[in-house]
Amino acid sequence: MRLFFAIELADDVQHLLDEATTSLRAEAPDLAWVDREKRHLTLKFLGDVTEEALPRLASAADRAAAGHGPLEMSVREIGAFPNFRRARVVWIGVEQERRLELLHHDLELACESEGFEVEGRPFRPHITLARVRSLLPVDRMKAFARMARSVRVRASVPVERITLFESILAPSGARYRCVHSATLGGR
């Protein structure tokens, strides 16, 4: 099973992201734009995991979530990894918020205690909006980058749970299935 932990986005936030990216989608229709039902904030990517590990992962999520009450994360500006000149991923950033970082940290530690590796790189919270299949010509990418930098989103996103998803790969694209949900505060 190909698994990852994520924070789901409410419908109103998804709608706001649809509105904020309308002009960008028109400017770069050849990017692989992420469908709204697949947009989320990844807390931890696990990759291929055996089905027998599910109870341990559910337990890790429950323990991490129990130590944190509901919180809000702020969605802000649009960026690209590694940068707009060589963009592979276009994302909307989530403001570095101490409580979100602590939730991520505690989930990492809970997973480590269940035998899963800790992510080696820093947590950079973001929501993937599009993937770049092939690099755009320089002039189009510059125009796209200017447009993306002008988009300002100011939204607070409620975070009430951690969800463990299975990513089921298919020729038509990945489909996500909720495997476990852990409510913050253990409610």
Q: Which residues are catalytic?
A: 40, 126
Burial class (CB in 10 A: 0-12, 13-18, 19+), 109: middle
Neighbours of 83 (CB within 10 A): 10
* Neighbouring C-alpha atoms within 13 Å toward the C-beta of 29: 1
Measure Cα distances from 147 to 27, 34, 151 in Å: 9, 18, 7
Could you give the CA distance from residue 151 to residue 146 in angstroms, rounded to a whole number? 9
- Helices 98-113, 54-66: inter-axial angle, 10-degree rounding: 140
Residue type, 55: P
Backbone angles phi, psi at 27, to 5 degrees: -70, -35
Please tell me what DSSP assigns to residue 35.
P
For residue 12, how far is the Cα from the chain centroid? 17
